[in-house]
Structure 1
Amino acid sequence: MTPSLDTVFSAIADPTRRAILAMLLEDDMAVTDVAEPFEMSLAAVSKHLRVLTGAGLIQQERRGRVTWCKLQPDALRQASVWMQSFGQFEPMDIEVLERFLEREFNAAPDS
């Protein structure tokens, strides 16, 4: 099962998680190495990693005593395709996108 678009966008909404993804663009990293540049506990970084894993954006793998993180770039494909649909607004007008998102997320679901 692929993660929902909402799950992916929720995961990348946090700047710490975006920073982690950017770090993993370079190479696989041990969890302790991922945590090193952040001024937070290893437990807090681990929570961010669980969110990214749940969204399918990274994969975690035990190698001996070390847990490694690996970027799953294909997981962003659905979000990328969705964002590309806004290419019709050349150049991209952020205010138009914001108004669209407000309408989209504030629309009451039919009950």
Structure 2
Amino acid sequence: LKSKLDEISMEREKSYDADGSRVQKLEERIKNLELMESGFKIDCLKSKLEEISLEKKKAYDADESLVQKHEELVKNLELVESGLKSKLEEVSLERKRADD
């Protein structure tokens, strides 16, 4: 009877060990799946960040181009103004000479 109890006890212990091992393997698999999922999320976030960065760069480049165009326009207007002032002074001097 004692040997039978010992045998049953050992079988039960082996069963617990086997169950514990299975549980441990399942926990490891779950951790691996969670890591894979986290990696996938990180890849998605990196991709989205790159996409947003590219959009911001394009917007910045477009703004920079627009600023350059406006600067050129202002320079051209300043040249026209300078030319008109010169012409006005010239006409003014001619009138003054004519009046003298």
> TM-score, normalised to structure 1's length?
0.20
Question: More strand per residue: 1 or 2?
Answer: 1
Q: Pick the structure with greater CA Rg.
A: 2
Question: More helix per residue: 1 or 2?
Answer: 2
Tell me: higher relative CO, structure 1 or 2? Use CA pairs within 8 A at least 6 residues apart.
Answer: 1
